[in-house]
Chains A and B, each alone.
Chain A
Amino acid sequence: MTIPVTIRLQSADFDAAAEARLLTQGRADIGAVVSFTGICRGGAGADAIAAMTLEHYPGMAEAEIARHAEEALARWPLMGLTIIHRYGRLVPGDNIVLVVTASAHRTAAFEAAEFLMDYLKTQAPFWKREERAGGPSWVAAHADDDAAAARWTPGKTSSSS
């Protein structure tokens, strides 16, 4: 049976609950759904963010996400997968990204969702530009995001065994 996989890049908002329901409706074999939503944070004081613009590489972004979706399907017994990533200008409180994984049991759903988020943060061609009172600035990549992604690659982490 074909596993339903939905990948969308869009400027419009998404409905996380509706997307999760789409994966499970009419099915009695799914025992676990994990839904992760990444949200634009505002911060406080002089460092507060007024807005954020997400730039992406059309074509490559879809291809990179599809490649990692295939890897997740190969590594975990998933029964459904939805990935939505927004682009364009967002304000604090807006949704940025959605990953929904469905499986018979929770472990596969949790792990696959975390794997996909770690890779979206470090490998998918998106760049965040934040607007503050002092002016706009591009978000710098975080070393801990790289470390989080590296733990899914055998031999790249000291704790792998």
Chain B
Amino acid sequence: MKILYFAWVRERVGKAEEVVEPPSSVATIGELMSWLAGRGEEYAYAFENARVIRAAIDQTHVRPDTPIAGAREVAFFPPMTGG
């Protein structure tokens, strides 16, 4: 699946997007964040306070307990500050 990062999550990870293949045991957004956090120092830093990070599946806001099955595009970002 395609993963997108925005704002300081993007800066900490060091890339704007990538394609990953998490194991089938990774079932939810929260579990995906934990799995990503284990991929290296920069990921651990980006997801060190996972509770503040928001997520979207296929461009719709979702919660940490949302299943990722069937997701094409998952995005992680800080709370929004537009307007």
> Which residues on A are within 8 Å of B, measured CB to CB?
38, 54-57, 59-60, 63-64, 85, 96-97, 117, 120-129, 138-141, 145
User: In chain B between 38 and 75, which residues have their CB closer than 8 angstroms to a CB of chain A?
Assistant: 56, 59-61, 75
Inter-chain contact A124/B82, CB cutoff 8 Å:
yes
Known: A55-B7, A59-B59. A127 touches B83 (CB 8 A): no
Interface residues of B (CB under 8 A from A): 4, 6-8, 56, 59-61, 75, 77-83
Contacts A55-B6, A138-B7, A138-B8; A125 near B83 (Cβ below 8 A): no
Interface of A is mostly: mixed
Partner of B79, one of A38, A63, A129, A141: A141
Would A127 and B6 count as touching, CB distance under 8 A? Answer: yes
Smallest CB-CB separation from B59: which chain A residue? A60
Once the chains bind, are B56 and A127 in contact (CB under 8 Å)? Answer: no
Report chain B residues within 8 Å CB of A57: 4, 6, 56, 59, 75, 77
Pairs A–B under 8 Å by Cβ, sample size 14: A54-B82, A57-B59, A85-B83, A97-B83, A117-B83, A120-B82, A120-B83, A125-B75, A126-B83, A127-B82, A128-B81, A139-B81, A141-B79, A145-B83
